Amino acid sequence: MAPRIDVDCCIGCGTCADVCPAGVWEIQDDKAVQVNPEACIECGACVDNCPVACLSLE
- Write out the residues near ligand SF4 by the rule CB under 6 A: 2-3, 5, 10-16, 19-22, 24, 32, 40-46, 50, 52, 54-55
* Shortest Å distance, C-beta 18 to ligand SF4: 8
Measure the CA–CA gap between 10 and 54, rounded to whole angstroms: 6
* Shortest Å distance, C-beta 23 to ligand SF4: 8
Residue 54 · residue 10 · CB < 8 Å: yes
Measure the CA–CA gap between 18 and 20, rounded to whole angstroms: 6
* Shortest Å distance, C-beta 58 to ligand SF4: 11
